[in-house]
Amino acid sequence: QVHLVESGGGLVQAGDSLRLACTASQGSIRSYAVGWFRGPPRKGSTFVAALNWNGGQTWYSRPVKGRFDISRDNARNVVYLQMNNLQLEDSGVYYCAADTGSGSDYADEYDYWGQGTQVTVSS
């Protein structure tokens, strides 16, 4: 079992950047695929980005492709979501989730979820 913790959210203006981080307060995420979703958590969430256990495969939703970058540092047990050129519609609570499988853009496939971090983009 793994307990996920998100950080890095905040209030920014449109066009600004933020970097979210997902770490494990208990356990390790090194062997998991990890995804980022915008709330509400689990069913009903909006897929943002995901990567497999070693970062060799990534997925992005169409609205964020080219603006967001997902990466991981398994030595430090952390997954990042670099968000550039933020837009008003990017606002929401961002959750990271861990998948014991190979990773996907379906929230139902993810087994563990963090508590979320708020991102607010103002004009």
pLDDT tens-digit series, residues 69-119 = 999 999 999 999 999 999 999 999 999 999 999 999 999 999 999 999 999
In this prediction, residues 37-57 reach a mean pLDDT of: 94
Both structure tokens of 86: 């933020």
Residue 46's pLDDT band (cuts 50, 70, 90): very high
Average pLDDT over the chain reads 96
**Cβ 60 vs Cβ 67: under 8 Å:** no
- Whether the pLDDT of residue 122 is over 90: the answer is yes
Terminal Cα-to-Cα distance of the chain (whole angstroms): 40
For residue 41, the model assigns a pLDDT of 87
Tell me if residue 104 falls in helix, strand or coil: coil
- Whether the pLDDT of residue 62 is over 90: the answer is yes
Residue 43's pLDDT band (cuts 50, 70, 90): confident
Which amino acid does the sequence have at 31?
A: S
Residue 49 has what DSSP assignment? E
